[in-house]
Structure 1
């Protein structure tokens, strides 16, 4: 499986769980740091889940082993992609969604899936290919994987199959996953979905990381979709 055997970091609801927020970390990271950041903006009725990727050799980093959802060769919009790895990782995240839903008796419309960088790319692919409607997606400093296939509706991939609201955040000074990756993703999704449930926000001076302002906006998005209590 693409996910680590280590259990996800979690923030449990303090009462009855009525919503789920599942967030995927970026390349070389774990879910721990994100779990500590979301601790400060948590809502008591939501369970927050931060899974960990397995370590694997990553071509972009000269074959070094590190936590990674799939292999990545280059940060290039026209570069070769690890399609098999993306699909395998998506299935593991789907299994996690199902497991958490069943444990809390939460319907799919009360699940928000998100991620940062590579984690956001996997979250978007998983969400767009998920058969059940989700409550929302949060994509930070991220991009659309297998963009050409989605654009051409090849292999059954569709940009319009998932109708849930989507929040995208991106630093305007991101030199790792450049802003154009996020803006092009937003344009493609907005054109295909033709609805008002899309938000793309740039953060001035922010590099390849998150910020207090961005996390505040994410918290507002979560509250809008899953309520305040």
Structure 2
């Protein structure tokens, strides 16, 4: 499997931790790259940001138009919105990228996986299925694929890993209830999920960015000075 291409935002000095951030439908790795300075993370943390590009595929609900997507969307019905085969293929591609980072010397517990919308679906799909522990997970304005298969497929590696779930109360693309359902499903399964909502549409806002920054610092700044 060829490694996913990505936008690479490196820290000023030595890399001590990595955030892998997955974009939404029709976007690219360039879409979220400008958020890095807005997070105002301490330079001493040495956090590298990787923003992978999803492959270009035909998307059914958009008339078969080719665009960057982590999976096809055949219907807007949330129960069947995420094409399971596509989700699993993208999850495998993201896992290969994480594997490469670990092989290159970044401990898995110094990596945070984040995703917005479709990217968040992949993030939440990997949360219970990765065979190693990460530092944290961030799932924004998103929902859950294959909730009925969680119990049968989940591993225990990230049961205690903090998960930040954020959603807009005025989201017309992914209803608030869909995000809440994902949160409740993972909470019931014993995962360490937290829920935040904001008065915004299908986007991010300044308050959410501030709370993401605090989350990243709580997960990655600890012990950074010792590395």
TM-score w.r.t. the length of structure 1 is 0.89
Write the deviation string for residues 50-76 of structure 1: whole angstroms up to 9, x where unpaired: 000111001121211110011111232
Aligned with 1:169 (options 154, 157, 166): 166
Query: Partner residue of 2:197?
Result: 202
Q: From the superposition, tell whether residues 160 and 77 of structure 1 become closer, same or farther in structure 2 (CA, over 3 Å).
A: farther
Cα RMSD, aligned residues only? 1.9
Name structure 2 gaps, 5 residues minimum. none
Q: Do the aligned residues in 2 keep the contact of 1:56 with 1:66 (CA within 8 Å)? A: yes
Aligned residues: 219
Using the alignment, how far apart are the partners of 2:3 and 2:109 within structure 1?
Answer: 24
Name structure 1 gaps, 5 residues minimum. none
TM-score w.r.t. the length of structure 2 is 0.90
Residues 1:184 and 2:181 are matched in the alignment: yes
Q: Do the aligned residues in 1 keep the contact of 2:117 with 2:141 (CA within 8 Å)? A: yes
Using the alignment, how far apart are the partners of 1:140 and 1:2 within structure 2?
Answer: 27
Give how far 1:31 is off.
1.3
Using the alignment, how far apart are the partners of 1:2 and 1:140 within structure 2?
Answer: 27
Give how far 1:39 is off.
2.7
Using the alignment, how far apart are the partners of 1:96 and 1:114 within structure 2?
Answer: 13
Q: From the superposition, tell whether residues 189 and 168 of structure 1 become closer, same or farther in structure 2 (CA, over 3 Å).
A: same
Following TM superposition, the consecutive aligned residue runs of length 4 or more in structure 1 with deviations greater than 4 angstroms are 1-4
Alignment partner of 1:128: what SS?
Answer: coil
Alignment partner of 2:203: what SS?
Answer: coil
